Structure 1
Amino acid sequence: MWVFIVNPAAGNGRGAATFERLQKTLAYQQMQVQYYYTDYEGHAEEIAHSLITNPDVTAVIVVGGDGTIHEVMNGLGHHKLPIGFIPGGSGNDFARGVGIKGCPEEILESLTHSEELSPYWLGTYRIDDKKERYFVNSMGIGFDAATAHKANHSSYKKLFNKLRFGTGSYVLALLQVLTTFKPATLEITLDGEKRMVENCWLISVGNHPYYGGGMKIMPNAAIQPDKFSVLLVHSLPKWKVLALFLTVFAGKHEKIRGVELLEASYLTVTSNIPIHIQIDGQTTTCMKSEIKKGDDSVSVIPSK
């Protein structure tokens, strides 16, 4: 039995529209299917967790955005249920990261005919000594998280989603946050090596290159079992930060002085004041974060 977890609200209704298209296909109609719609934040995680002990489940197909796949991965954990993803959100960076391309009908057809599974190594994080959780795409601390927070709570996000230009809300929020954001001094430990970073704009940690709806923030990142890519941006004037984000889609920002691209399997970030943090696009604040590469892989159904 194939189980579909559908977030109808993803992408300002794109999740629901995508699933309605899938239901009309011959591929869907020939499958043994059970589907669930999510009704509230955290619901996808609850649904996924409930499937762990069901021996009849062949695979879980997620129809939604990066927030939905984040919840499903946390619900399943390292249980070996294969996971497929059909993007229906505003950013869809997970789809970019694992190479999912094509229209929803093509992706579904490809999923049902895939004979091999691809390993995908999640990251784990703990903030302010709370419960450890998984992240799928990336985490960001500082300026990018403040920008994501602004975009998520903006009045214009729905408009950009309707226009199928989810990155637009991020870019507009970036320009707004840039005028008032103040870099912080952070204590960072990378694989046991401690350093103080003054005038730190942001730290990003990723399992693949993309975030913010297609920004190639960590151009050298690769899906791998033991290392993250880490982007550190510090000691830059505001105009250079703007230049950084103007070049980020092409992945050329690594040449800017004050931009460091590193690798690590374990890191901690500590601030003496609450600082914005984003996890797969969802935002909060914290003073300490602990991030490490997951010990095991989940199984993703490739779609190519």
Structure 2
Amino acid sequence: MEVDRRLLTVIVNPSAGRGRALRLLDGVRAELDRWAADVRVVPTRDLAHAGRLAAEATAQGRVVVALGGDGLAGAVAGAVARAGGLLAVLPGGRGNDFARGLGLSADPRRVAAELAGFRERRVDLPEVGGRPYLGIASVGFDSDVQVIANQTRLLRGRHVYTYAALRAVAAWRPVRFTVTVDGGPPRALHGWTVAAANAAYYGGGMRFAPDADVADGLLEILLISRTSRLTFLALFPRVFTGRHVHTRHVQVLRGRRVHISADRPFAVYADGDPLADLPAEILVRPGALRLLVPAGP
């Protein structure tokens, strides 16, 4: 698909970051107008609507610019990849973890100003139950945390997920998971969480999968085994630096496809949204997405 990088369609989630994206929109547009030939701004009602808007913009040969949170970026990425278009991500949500992993500024106005100098890169696009995401899909304890985080209104970024995790610990019961990677023998896990990571960060800055690479064609699959609540709480701060993966309670696998089931119902969350119920299959499509990234190393 031929794309004119001077033609931009900005898809904005008005409620992202409790209205942060909308508050910064005028500044973002002003920066884009400085170098782009034509900038169109379209608000989205929901993720499905965002996908349709992205498909329409791509069909017109325009760059799709997602201004919102990680959930919006993931939904838009799926539509752009299917149509062979080009995507740029501006951090306008609460966590902005995918943008963080790309090394982008937390200020979408600065990213908008620098976007003209970005280069195109092919990156992987994972999906769970047929629904695409960009960062990390996880299930189990993380599902309970995400429910609490989505209901919390007074905190932002890392703080809301830390608060939600501390609340969720009190009521947590370990889960018996069955995990199958690339059609191999099933693995039994009695523990906290199973995650499939395309990128390093989630939860507003937690470096949960420190070695994940958005362009290696693989998912980094993390298995968090059973510990006491006290041990879990003692280890929790390590997730912000990625040092948790060096403990005996965390196993890291790699593969292109993972099937997960559990002994009780859970929703798989990715980029802040519930995308599928267990049992679920998560797979990665190598190099499926054309993405604009900073021109540096």
TM-score, normalised by the number of residues in structure 2: 0.90
Q: Which of 17, 21, 40 matches 1:11?
A: 17
Deviation at 1:208, TM superposition (A): 1.4
1:146–1:277 CA contact under 8 A, matched in 2: no
Q: Which of 259, 275, 291 matches 1:300?
A: 291
What amino acid maps onto 1:150 in structure 2?
I
Between the aligned partners of 2:36 and 2:286, the Cα distance in structure 1 is 37
What amino acid maps onto 1:13 in structure 2?
G
| Corresponding position of 1:221 | 212
Q: Which of 122, 134, 155 matches 1:119?
A: 122
Deviation at 1:40, TM superposition (A): 3.5
| Corresponding position of 2:103 | 99
Between the aligned partners of 2:229 and 2:37, the Cα distance in structure 1 is 53
What amino acid maps onto 2:15 in structure 1?
A
1:149–1:283 CA contact under 8 A, matched in 2: no
Stretches of structure 1 lacking an aligned partner (at least 5 in a row): 127-131
Between the aligned partners of 2:15 and 2:208, the Cα distance in structure 1 is 27
The answer as to 2:236 corresponding to 1:245 is yes
SS of structure 2 residue aligned to 1:147: helix
1:101–1:303 CA contact under 8 A, matched in 2: no
What amino acid maps onto 1:152 in structure 2?
N
SS of structure 2 residue aligned to 1:278: strand
Deviation at 1:43, TM superposition (A): 2.3
| Corresponding position of 1:141 | 139
2:196–2:219 CA contact under 8 A, matched in 1: yes
2:32–2:112 CA contact under 8 A, matched in 1: no
SS of structure 2 residue aligned to 1:236: coil
1:14–1:88 CA contact under 8 A, matched in 2: yes
How many residue pairs align between the two structures? 289
What amino acid maps onto 1:101 in structure 2?
S
Between the aligned partners of 1:105 and 1:282, the Cα distance in structure 2 is 25
2:81–2:288 CA contact under 8 A, matched in 1: no
Deviations 1:156-212 (A, max 9, x none): xx3223xxxx11111111111101111111111012222342422101111111000
Between the aligned partners of 2:46 and 2:217, the Cα distance in structure 1 is 34
TM-score, normalised by the number of residues in structure 1: 0.88
What amino acid maps onto 2:9 in structure 1?
V
Deviations 1:232-258 (A, max 9, x none): 011211122222321111111122222
Between the aligned partners of 1:86 and 1:229, the Cα distance in structure 2 is 25
Q: Which of 69, 72, 95 matches 1:68?
A: 72
Deviation at 1:15, TM superposition (A): 0.4
What amino acid maps onto 2:140 in structure 1?
G
2:189–2:223 CA contact under 8 A, matched in 1: no
Deviations 1:58-96 (A, max 9, x none): x11111111110221122233222111110100001101
The answer as to 2:198 corresponding to 1:192 is no
SS of structure 2 residue aligned to 1:231: strand
Deviation at 1:217, TM superposition (A): 0.4
Between the aligned partners of 1:270 and 1:137, the Cα distance in structure 2 is 21
1:142–1:203 CA contact under 8 A, matched in 2: yes
The answer as to 2:28 corresponding to 1:22 is yes
148 and 297 in structure 1: CA distance in 2 versus 1, 3 angstrom threshold: same
| Corresponding position of 1:212 | 203
The root-mean-square deviation of aligned C-alpha atoms, in Å, is 1.9
Deviations 1:132-178 (A, max 9, x none): 12111110010112101111023xxx3223xxxx1111111111110
2:122–2:287 CA contact under 8 A, matched in 1: no
SS of structure 1 residue aligned to 2:147: helix
What amino acid maps onto 1:145 in structure 2?
S
Between the aligned partners of 2:18 and 2:38, the Cα distance in structure 1 is 28
Between the aligned partners of 2:32 and 2:268, the Cα distance in structure 1 is 43
Q: Which of 45, 49, 52 matches 1:46?
A: 52
